[in-house]
Every structure is written in C-alpha cells, then in structure tokens.
Structure 1
Amino acid sequence: MNKKGQSAKSIEAQYNILRVAIAIFISLLLAFVLIALVGGNPLDALKQFILEPISSRRNFGNVIELSIPLTFAGLAVCVMFQCNQFNMGVEGAFFFGGLTAGYFATKLFLPLPLHLLVAISCGAISGMLICVIPAVMKVKWNANEVVSSLMLNYVVLYLGNFILQYIMLDPTAGYPASSQFASSAKLPLLVSKTRIHAGLFLALILIVLIYIFVYKTKWGYSIRMVGKNENFARYSGIGVGGTILLSQLVGGALAGAGGATEVLGMYTRFSWVRLPGYGFDGIIIAILAGNNPIFVPLAAVFLSYLRIGADIMSRRTDIAPEFVSFVQSFIILLVGAKLFLEKYKHKKIVENSALLNKEEG
C-alpha cells in the first residue's frame, strides 16, 4: 500500500496534538513516582484523581461548571495572543465584568431574556474598557502591556471593592455581598443535581464565532499577521495600532462576558472581594489550545478535570491539592518548550516532502 503525502499544516496539527498527549502522559507518570516517593499509595491516589471526576453526575457536573469560565478566559487570551499581545488585564476584566453584571442584576427589573442580555452585555463592555487601557498605552507610548495590565488589575480590584462596599452592599447579608440578584437576571440551570447553567450555550456559540472571526475575516487575518510579524504587517498596509486595539477590545469583551456569565450562573449575589484567577488560567488554556479557539473547550475541560480530580483526591487521600499544580506546571513546561519533539516533526516534514516530490514526479 502506497503512502500519500500530507500537507505541512496537517503534520503540524498532528505534531501539536501528539506533543500535548505525550506531555500529559509524562506528567502523570512523574506524578505517580512522586506520590510513591512521599509514601502515599500512588494507585489509589491516581484512581481518585483520574476516575472520580466521572464517577457521578455531580462530580462530572463540577467539571463542566468549572470549564465554562475557563472557556471564556481561554478565548479572551487566545485572541490577544494571536496578535502577540500579552495583556494580563483579562483577570481584571473578568472581575469587573462580574461586578458590572451583578450591579445591573440588582438595580434593574426587566423581563427574563432582556435582563440577562443587558447584564451580560454591560459586563462585556466593562471588560472591553479595562483591557483597552493597556492597549492604548502600548500604541500611544509603547508602554509594556504586561506591566501596565498587571498593575491595572489591582486598581480594578480595589475599585471593585469600593463599589461593592459603598454602592452595592447589602447590610443584611452578613458578609461583603450585594443584594440578591433579580430572578430575571439568573441564568437557568440545564441539568438537575448540578449547577451547569445556560452559560454553557453562550460559551459554545462564542467558540464558533471567535473561530470564524480569527480565521475567516479580514480583521482576524490582520490580527494574525500583526502577531506573526508586526513590521511585515505594517509594510503590507495593515494598521498595526488599530489591530492591536481591536484584539484587546475583543479579548476584553470575552473576559467581561465570562465574568458576567459566571456570576449570574453560579451565584445569587456578587461577593468577590479578590481577583478570581480565571484570567491567569486563560493563559494556560491558550497555551494548551495552541491559540486556536476550536481547541479551547478541550483545554478548558482538561484543566477543569485536573482540578476537580485533585480536589477529590485531596479529600480522600493524604495527597495535598497542590499536586495538580505540579501536573499542570509540567504539562505547560513541555507544551511551551518549542524544541520538545521538534526533531521528530522536522524528520516527518522532510520525509513527507520527499514523498510529495515523488508523487509529483
């Protein structure tokens, strides 16, 4: 049977999937050894870690619940990374999107679909405003977006705490929290005995829309070209400054909508007094997904699965929940290492090139 040549793009995709799979396998193998060295029962611990998240509807529901905000954050970071912009403001945008949505969920009284639409839209707009600040500083004054966005996150946090304490606070709650959300602003639950909410549908819709935006529109093409080579993009007539701003606006909107969806789907009051951490998780998701929106939900479910498994394992064995930090850190280390399995990829591309030349000859 004769072999057929493949495109370089197909080989690249196969290589990336193989690299992630091998990274996961190596990480779990090292985790097994580590558990054995510290005196634990590795077989029992890994059984709890790997199998328990799918052992019941409730546990698997927890996996899906956690993957929803991770998907929003991963999509937001993906768009920014496609433009080669490392804006860490996704964390602040996620927080402020939830705060804004919580505010409108308590202050407005509208019919169910309209109230949800207004609250989530306002959350998305607030996320855009947060993320565009470091982008403007980058375009206008060439300020390092990593530093400015990290510092901005704390400004957003303290501003949010001020708003919660002096504008939204319900003194009868007994803890720092807003008034209860109107029922018309709550995302409905989808599966009984879980907290999987309708935000899942919104996340799935946005995955498709962002994929189309990044790979099928002229704006997405501009973002990708600026990300690959800013000088070449400028020479080709692409407005680099405007494209950078666009990527940050889209990413911020996704992060703000994610915060709004998380708050309205999982809580009855807004009570965040610290940054939720989803923005930083989005970086992990984007790296695992290779900045491809289609792979974001898979990466989100995988990371969610790791964390739920680690939580169950820590409660049923003597292994600390920080165990998952080791696993995910090693996976990121291997996936992020560009030379990991690079030799085998190049070997495959050379063999495939020779095969294609033979077919054409």
Structure 2
Amino acid sequence: MKSKHFEIVRTMAVIAISLIIAFFIIALVSKQPFTSIFIFLYEPISSLSHIGNVVEMAIPLMFTGLSVVLLFRVNLFNLGAEGLFYMGGVVAAAIAIHFSLSSFLHPVVAIVAGGLAGAILSAIPGILKAKWDVNVLVTSLMFNSILFGIGLFFLNYKLRDVKAFANVSYKFEPTALLGNLVPGTRIHAGLIVVLLCIVAAHFYMYKTRWGYELRMTGDNREFAEYSGINTAKIIIIVHLIAGFLAGMGGSIQVLGMYSRFQWTALPGYGLDGALVAMLAKNNPLSVIGGALFLAYIRIGADQMARMSDVPAEMISIVQAVIILLISAEQFLKFWKNRMLLKEAGKHE
C-alpha cells in the first residue's frame, strides 16, 4: 500500500475501532447484546423507509459538512455553520409564508435567499479574520448564539402562529415545499442540489486556479502571500461560499422536511458538519460517505433504543471516539513513516 492511501486506511481504522468500542459497551449494558448489535447494524437498511431515513438525515449533514470542509481546507477552525444553517431556515420560512409564487420559483427564491443570508453573515467573521486576524473560532461560536437569538426573535414576534398550541410559525405556502424524489420516503429534491454542490466544490478546489490558491493559503499562508496570492481575499471568498452552503442547507431542510418553521433550539447540524469534515479529511467528494455513515449509525442507534434495552445516547460515545482518534495526529503515524521510508528506499 502506498503512503498516499494512508489517510483512507487511517479513517477506516478509526471507524472500526469506534464500532468495536460501541459493541463492547452494548455487550456491557444489554441483556441481549447480539440482538442489540444486529438491530444497530441491520435496521437502518432493513426497509425502504429506513434507508430513506438515513438519506434524509444525511442531506443536511452533507451541506454543513461541505461548508466546514472548505473552511478547514484554508486552515480556519470555523464552527459557525450552526448559526448560519439556522438563519437560512428562518429566511426561507419567511419567504415560504409571506410570498406567493409558482411551485418552481417559490422554493428556488427561498433557498437562494437563505443561502445569501448565510453568505452575508458568514462574511463578517471572514472579514475580521482576513483584516485583523481575529480568532475565527471565537467569533464563529459567538455568532452561533447571536444568530440563534435573532432567529428566535423573528419566530416569536414575526412568524409565529398564535393559534397553534406550540411555538411554531404559520404554515408554509404549498408552492414553497420541496417535492419527494422517492415514494414511501421523505427524500426530497435537496439531495440532487447537495450532490451538485459537492461535485462543484470538488471541481473548484482541485481544477481551478482559485482552488489552488485556496489550498495554498491553507497549507502555508505566509508562503502563499510571498507567492503573490491575496490571502485576505481568499479567506473572505471561502467564508462567503461556506456561508452560502450552510444557509442553503438550512433553507432546504426547512422546506423539504417541514410544513412550518419549528426550530426553537439550534438543530445541531452545524457542529455535526465538523465531524463529517473530519471523517472526509477535508475532501469534498468524501463528504458523501462521511454524512451517510454518521446518519447510518444514528438511525441504527435510534432503532436500537426503540427495539432493545440500549439507550440511543450510546452513539455519543462512538462520535467522541471518532473525534479523538481522527484529531490525534500521532495515531498510526509510525506506519505512515515506515511506508515513506520504504518508498524512499525503492527510489534510491
């Protein structure tokens, strides 16, 4: 095996170790461990509706995962996709409630508006980082709370249906809702959109001059500046693109899965996007596999909690192990060094 395949093998090893630990925990807490493990592994693919559940959950994870991949590739530890995803949903909900358009134009306008809102809001920490080198992790996390507060204000005072027995918005216009792609599931047209975005991001990152400048900025900003690359411009542009993707993801999730806006808490997809990006090793195409895997184990844990005596919270341990091992640079590094030495010896 060549050293260039090391990260793939390393990620697969992380997943395998995490699942082994999960199985060990199940064996400790369950009275029927083999049955529980079988439910965990098989139920997510046991029927069309369950497969649909996996894909439905993976769609927002792909959007936020792709958003975070672009930021991580520029060496920016930005976790602001959470608030941008939420605000994208709020903007799309407002357009879905208050506008009357055709069934084709209505969702397009709502989704693009949500994406633009995400891009504009994301540009703020991007400009702060590019111009004044402000810590982007701090500003992005602060923005999550700020944007959640703003979104909740609009829900409570501008969009809320006072006749409903819950803190939800008015119903969306039927023309704004996204149609289902697969009968018997809730897989919506957002799947096509996110797959197109992933392919476009891969082309942008690896086949264009701007993508080269993006990768150079992430690898070594000082060297990139010395080479004539305007790194401040690159940082702002990547924030705009990442924000658009996160905002568009929130818009599509709201219009594809709900008939009202009902998020009274941050949905969590933004932070999950960071885990998907780590699994994908900052490769846009690998976001598909990372999102599907995370959705798969979550649906499996949910089904296991319903059908056995193992709580769904067990999956948090699996995710924690994945984060720890993937972020541990020394994990399996001795093997990579051995492969590099072997390859160097062959070329002598």
Same fold, TM exceeding 0.5?
yes
TM-score relative to the length of structure 1: 0.93
- 1:56 matched to 2:38? The reply is no
Task: State the distance in 2 between where 1:145 and 1:314 align.
Answer: 38
- 1:11 matched to 2:3? The reply is yes
Structure 1 residues 261, 39: CA separation in 2 closer, same or farther (over 3 Å shift)?
closer
Matched residue SS, 2:166: coil
Tell me the CA shift for residue 36 of structure 1: 2.4
Equivalent residue runs for 1:171-250 within 5 Å? 171-250=162-241
- Equivalent of residue 66 in structure 2, options 63, 75, 97: 75
- Aligned counterpart, 2:251: 260
Task: State the distance in 2 between where 1:87 and 1:32 align.
Answer: 33
Equivalent residue runs for 1:35-46 within 5 Å? 35-46=26-37
Shifted more, 143-152 versus 274-283: the winner is 143-152
Matched residue SS, 2:68: helix
Task: State the distance in 2 between where 1:198 and 1:352 align.
Answer: 46
- Aligned counterpart, 2:77: 86
Equivalent residue runs for 1:159-170 within 5 Å? 159-170=150-161
CA deviation map 1:215-248 (0-9, x unaligned): 1112211111111111001111111111111111
Tell me the CA shift for residue 288 of structure 1: 0.3
- Equivalent of residue 112 in structure 2, options 97, 117, 121: 121
- Aligned counterpart, 1:335: 326
CA deviation map 1:266-296 (0-9, x unaligned): 0001111111111100000000000000100
- Aligned counterpart, 2:298: 307
List runs of 5+ in structure 1 lacking aligned partners: 1-5
Q: Which amino acid aligns with 2:282?
A: N
Task: State the distance in 2 between where 1:36 and 1:116 align.
Answer: 47
Number of residue pairs aligned between Structure 1 and Structure 2: 348
- 1:108 matched to 2:119? The reply is no
Query: 2:26 touches 2:37 (CA, 8 Å); kept in 1?
Result: no
- Aligned counterpart, 2:315: 324
Task: State the distance in 2 between where 1:141 and 1:311 align.
Answer: 45
Task: State the distance in 2 between where 1:39 and 1:189 align.
Answer: 38
Query: 1:99 touches 1:160 (CA, 8 Å); kept in 2?
Result: yes
Task: State the distance in 2 between where 1:178 and 1:11 align.
Answer: 53
Query: 1:87 touches 1:131 (CA, 8 Å); kept in 2?
Result: no
Task: State the distance in 2 between where 1:322 and 1:39 align.
Answer: 14
Task: State the distance in 1 between where 2:181 and 2:30 align.
Answer: 42
Runs (4+) of structure 1 exceeding 6 A deviation are none
TM-score relative to the length of structure 2: 0.97
Tell me the CA shift for residue 39 of structure 1: 5.0
Q: Which amino acid aligns with 1:89?
A: G
Matched residue SS, 2:104: helix
Tell me the CA shift for residue 142 of structure 1: 2.3
Task: State the distance in 2 between where 1:167 and 1:55 align.
Answer: 43
Identity %: 44
- Aligned counterpart, 2:279: 288
Q: Which amino acid aligns with 1:282?
A: G
Task: State the distance in 2 between where 1:39 and 1:100 align.
Answer: 45
- Equivalent of residue 138 in structure 1, options 105, 112, 129: 129
Task: State the distance in 2 between where 1:83 and 1:33 align.
Answer: 38
List runs of 5+ in structure 2 lacking aligned partners: none
Shifted more, 246-255 versus 169-178: the winner is 169-178
Task: State the distance in 1 between where 2:84 and 2:344 align.
Answer: 46
How large is the RMSD of aligned CA atoms in angstroms? 1.4
Task: State the distance in 2 between where 1:287 and 1:60 align.
Answer: 24
- Aligned counterpart, 1:153: 144
Task: State the distance in 2 between where 1:142 and 1:282 align.
Answer: 24
Query: 1:91 touches 1:278 (CA, 8 Å); kept in 2?
Result: yes
Shifted more, 156-165 versus 252-261: the winner is 156-165
